[in-house]
Structure 1
C-alpha cells in the first residue's frame, strides 16, 4: 500500500477533513455491530496522518500541536473510536523525541513514515503506577526478554509495534518496542466497554518475548519534566471535543429535521422553541470555550517542546489540565442534552445517538477530572506542579522559571 508523505499543516488538515467525511458514513453501524474498523485504520495510516509529528530532521512534517489537536477533533467528530486508536501512536512518537537515542529515533521515526503503527501496552491490572509495574525486561546472555500482562491496550490489535511500559533489572522504567507478531506476544480482543466500542482496547500478554537493545528505550528521569505527556493529554482533550461537537451537530440536525416543538411552547417548529434556543446557545458557548482553552494549551505546549524553560513546561502542563476539564464537561453536557432537546425520536435504536453519550462517558474516564482541578489549584495557589501520575505528590515549587 502506498503511504502518503504529508509536508505541511494545511495538507494534514485537508486530508483529515476528507477522511472524516468518509469515516462518518458508517460510524453508527460500526458502533452498533461492534465492527472493528480494520479497513478504515489502513486508510487512515496510509493517508500519512499518522506520521505528521515526526521531526523534520527525520523526514516528517513535525506539524504544530494545534494542528494535531485539530486533526484529532475532526476525526473524532466523525468516529471517536477511530480518533482514539492512534492516540498512543502519537504519544509514543512524542516520547521518542525526549527519550530515544539517535539510532532509536532514526529507526522508529522511519517506521512511522513508512506507515507502521504503534499501539499501546501501558496499564496493568489494578491501575499500578509505572514504578510498580510487574512487567519486566530482563537481560540475558544474548539480549533481553520481556514478560508481563497489560490491559486497556488501545490500538494494539492494529499495530505493527506495541510499546510496552516495563521495568528493567535495576527497577527503572523503560519502554520496550515489541513487534506485534513476535513469538510470545498475544493480543486479546476482550474490550467490552459500553463506549468507544471499536478501539480494540483489550489485553496484551507477553511471555519471554526476545528483544534487542534497539527496542529498549529508557525513560527520562521524572525530575526533568517535559511537555511530551501534555501532547498526549491534549489529544485526549481533542477526542472529547470531537465527541461533543458530533453530539451538538446531531442535536441541531434533529431539531431542524425531525423534532417536534414542546407542548405548550406556542411555536410550530422545534427550532423556534425559546428554551431550545437558549440551550443550543449555551452549548455553543461551552464548545467555543473548550476549544479556545484547548488551542491555548496547544500553543503553550508548542512553546515548551524541545529545549524550554521549566516554567514554560509547567505553564503548558497546567493549561492542558484546564483544557481537559472543559472538554470533558462539554462532551458530557452535549451528549446528554441531545435527548432532552431532540425528543423521543432521538432515542430510537436506528439512530444510535446514544453512542455519543456512551463514548463521552467512557473516554472521559481516562483520568479523573476532579484531580485536574486539584492540580490547577495547587499550581495557582502554591506554585506547585503536580506529578501527572500521582496528583497528590507535587514537583518542586516553580516561580518565575526557577526551582525553589
Structure 2
C-alpha cells in the first residue's frame, strides 16, 4: 500500500546524524537536560504557531545522550533513577512539551527490552539507543472498543512474521529511526514488533491536527504486509502478566510532561504580570503586580507546582524500589504513587494555563504572545490517561487495599 497524500513523511536515516554522547551519571543527565532545554525553548512558540516539526531540535535532544539514560549499566548506560528521569522530562517539557513527549514511548520500549528482551535484543537495541537511535511508536488504534483493543496482527512467515494494521497517535514516529508496533502475535498475546524506518510496507502520514501538542511528530501509521524477523519481536504481554514497573514507568513520564507545562505557564504568568498587567480601577496601586488578589493566586500556583514536583520525585523513589524488587506490593505502591503525581500534575497544568489569562488580563490573549499554547498543550496531553480513574485507584487502594490493575495506563 502506498500513500496518496503529499504529507507522507520521509524518515531520517540514522547515519546522517552524529553518534550520541553517552551520559554516565544522574547529575550529568540533569545538567544536559538544562542545556538542551535552553536551546529548544528559543523557537518553541513559533514551532507551535506554524505546526513545524522539531527536526533539528530532536536531533539535538537525542544526540545529547538523554534518550539513552535508562539503558542498564551492564549494557553501557547510566540507568538513572526515576526521580532523575522525571526531572529530565519535566525540564525539557517546560521548554517545549511536544518535544518532551516524543521520547515517552522510546523510554517505554527501553524498559520493555530491559524486562523481557532476549540477550540478543538487549545488546542489539541498547547499543543503537546509546548511539542516538530513536524509537517512535505505533501503539494506539482508533475505532476500537477501547485503547486496549488491538486489531493489528502478526502472521507466521519463514524466519519471521508479516505485520498488518493501522495505527493513530503515533507520537514521534514521523522522525523516528525505528517504529515499535503494538500487535497481537499468532497466539493472540500482546507483542511489540520493531520496524525500521523506511521498511517496505511502512507508511507514516503527517495528519495530527490537535489544537495542542501540535508538533509531537505524530500521525497515522499504516502497516502493509511488513516482514518482521523473529528476533525483532518482543513478547510484551509478559511485562504485565507478572508484577513489573512497566505501567508506572510509562505514567511517570506523562506526569513529568504535565509538570513541565505547568512550570512554563507559571513562568509566563510571572513575566506578563510583572511587565504588562495593569492594576484594577478600584485600587490606588501603581502596578498590577501589587494587586493583593493577584499575589494570593500567584502564591497558590507556586505552592501547587512545588507540591506537584514533590509528588513526582516521591513517585520516582517508589518506582526505583519497584524496579529493584518487583513484586505485587512494590509495583502496586509505585503505581499508586505515580497516580497521585499524575492527578496533581494534570490539575496544576490546567489551572496554570487558565490562571495565566485571569491574572495577566485581556492583552495576554493576543495572538502575538501565543500564550494559549500552554493551556492547549495541557488540555491535550492530560487526556491520555483520565485522572478520574487515578482518583479511583488511589481511593480503592487506601480504603479497601485493592491493588490497581497492571497495564500501561496506571
TM above 0.5, yes or no, is yes
Q: Which residue of 2 aligns with 1:204?
A: 221
1:220 Cα shift? 3.9
1:129 Cα shift? 4.9
Q: Work out whether residues 324 and 369 of structure 1, in 8 Å CA contact, stay in contact via their aligned partners in 2.
A: yes
Rate the CA distance shift 1:132–1:254 in 2: closer, same or farther, 3 A.
closer
Q: Which residue of 1 aligns with 2:209?
A: 192
Q: Work out whether residues 259 and 308 of structure 2, in 8 Å CA contact, stay in contact via their aligned partners in 1.
A: yes
Matched, 1:14 2:19: no
Aligned residues: 392
1:266 Cα shift? 2.4
Q: Work out whether residues 290 and 326 of structure 1, in 8 Å CA contact, stay in contact via their aligned partners in 2.
A: yes
> Which of 357, 373, 380 is the matching residue for 2:375?
357
* TM-score normalised over the length of structure 1: 0.94
CA distance in 1, matches of 2:242, 2:288: 55
Q: Which residue of 1 aligns with 2:361?
A: 343
Matched, 1:48 2:69: no
Matched, 1:102 2:119: yes
CA distance in 1, matches of 2:202, 2:95: 32
1:94 Cα shift? 1.1
1:169 Cα shift? 1.1
Q: Work out whether residues 251 and 408 of structure 2, in 8 Å CA contact, stay in contact via their aligned partners in 1.
A: no
Q: Work out whether residues 339 and 394 of structure 2, in 8 Å CA contact, stay in contact via their aligned partners in 1.
A: yes
The SS at the match of 2:403 is: strand
Q: Work out whether residues 130 and 166 of structure 1, in 8 Å CA contact, stay in contact via their aligned partners in 2.
A: no
Q: Which residue of 2 aligns with 1:265?
A: 283
Q: Which residue of 2 aligns with 1:61?
A: 78
* TM-score normalised over the length of structure 2: 0.93
1:132 Cα shift? 3.3
Structure showing greater relative contact order (alpha-carbon pairs closer than 8 Å, 6 or more residues apart): 2
1:99 Cα shift? 1.5
CA distance in 2, matches of 1:287, 1:229: 24
Matches within 5 A, 1:282-293: 282-293=300-311
CA distance in 1, matches of 2:264, 2:172: 22
The SS at the match of 1:13 is: helix
1:110 Cα shift? 0.7
Q: Which residue of 2 aligns with 1:402?
A: none
Matched, 1:169 2:169: no
1:201 Cα shift? 1.7
CA deviation vs aligned residue, 1:105-155 (integer Å, no higher than 9, x gap): 111111100110001111011355576311001111342110000010000
CA deviation vs aligned residue, 1:254-279 (integer Å, no higher than 9, x gap): 11111111221321111110000000
Q: Which residue of 1 aligns with 2:161?
A: 144
CA distance in 1, matches of 2:381, 2:407: 18
CA distance in 2, matches of 1:153, 1:118: 11
CA distance in 1, matches of 2:23, 2:152: 36
Rate the CA distance shift 1:79–1:336 in 2: closer, same or farther, 3 A.
same
RMSD: 1.5
Q: Work out whether residues 247 and 408 of structure 2, in 8 Å CA contact, stay in contact via their aligned partners in 1.
A: no
Query: Which is worse superposed, 360-369 or 123-132?
Result: 123-132
Matches within 5 A, 1:307-326: 307-326=325-344
1:40 Cα shift? 0.5
Where does the alignment leave 5 or more consecutive residues of structure 2 unmatched? 1-17
Q: Which residue of 1 aligns with 2:106?
A: 89
Where does the alignment leave 5 or more consecutive residues of structure 1 unmatched? 395-404
The SS at the match of 2:183 is: strand
Query: Which is worse superposed, 244-253 or 212-221?
Result: 212-221
The SS at the match of 1:320 is: helix
Matched, 1:39 2:94: no
